[in-house]
Amino acid sequence: MYATLTLSVSFFTAAVAAHLVICRATGTGRFMLKGLLTGFVCFACAAAWEYSAGAPDLVSLYLVLTLWLTYMVFFINLLNSVTLKMLARLAEEPSGTLTEAAFQDIFNEESAIKIRLQDMRVNGFIKLEGGNLGLTGKADALLKIVFLVRRAFSIDFVG
């Protein structure tokens, strides 16, 4: 069991270090793609290592994959946290404070929707054509995958 944990943590740590270097070297764009590719390469290296050592330890490979996906989910949630965005806005204010009314104006429902729509446009999920919003091919593919997973696990589409 010690060897399994050691191998899993070693490959995970190497992947985190590689992801850090890649992100620092290439800038802030395409975080998800860089993360998924780094995780895939890490998992493939771990699988090759296990295969070359004889019979692969499937628990170790499972742990490498699980650790990486947990790492990715943590950062996705961190990047999309409304609370952290609100705290960051207060931190950016030169005086360090805002009136409650000014804060509510910044984070009202309408501005939150505008920000989310802008993020979806920047990330290539929606397009604006003649005043109408539409899905891109990227968004359509993502939704097909999500709907397939929901169907496979019998997850209700509402709530």
Residue 158 has pLDDT above 60, yes or no: no
Distances (CA, A) of 49 to 13, 24, 112: 15, 27, 47
The domain locations on the chain are 2-79, 82-152
Handedness of CA 18, 41, 123, 106 (dihedral sign): negative
pLDDT digits (tens, 9 = 90+) for 81-126: 777 777 777 888 888 787 888 777 777 777 777 878 888 888 888 9
CATH numeric code, 82-152: 1.10.10
Which secondary-structure segment (H or E) carries 17? Answer: helix 2-26
Q: How confident is the model at residue 159 (pLDDT cuts 50, 70, 90)?
A: very low
**Lowest mean pLDDT across 94-98, 147-151, 152-156:** 152-156
pTM of the model: 0.58
3-state DSSP call for residue 127?
strand
